[in-house]
Amino acid sequence: MQIKVQRQEQPQLATVAVSSQGVTVRPEHVSVNVGGIVDWRIAVAGNMPPLLATLSFRNGSPFDWTSRDVIVDSHESGIAVAAKPRKKGDFKYGVRVVEKTSGRMIGEDDPLLDDHRS
């Protein structure tokens, strides 16, 4: 999966779908300008305990951070992380979701944020 950065005014949305079957980030390719906005929305299917979702960039980040943690209640769904890319490049990132109290792994996905253009 990837995010491609290009000139756009609208925030670009990546949805992190969480269910008892695991985690999937869609779309696999998102385009956004340097200085534009990427919104990661977490959508929980079904009744699940409170979750801890971690968004992390392991080998460089287009942002001024490399990792963000978000606590998610299964009854809530909305923008969990909104960020503005600060630099161009191809960036692999991961999304990992665990049960907040037990630490039990729910799932993870490994999309790509790419081709940041000013």
Asked if residue 118 is part of any domain, the answer here is: no
Q: Into how many domains does the chain fold? A: 1
* CATH code where residue 64 lies: 2.60.40
Give the global pTM: 0.83
What pLDDT score does 88 carry? 86
Asked if residue 79 is part of any domain, the answer here is: yes
pLDDT in tens, the chain (118 residues): 566 665 556 788 899 999 989 999 998 777 778 888 889 999 998 889 999 999 999 888 999 999 999 999 877 667 789 999 998 888 888 999 999 999 999 999 987 666 544 4
Asked if residue 115 is part of any domain, the answer here is: no
Q: Which residues contact 39 (CB under 8 A, 6 or more apart)?
A: 11, 12, 13, 14, 79, 81, 82
> What is the residue range of 24's domain?
2-110
**The amino acid at 14:** A
How far apart CA 113 and CA 66 sit, in angstroms, is 13
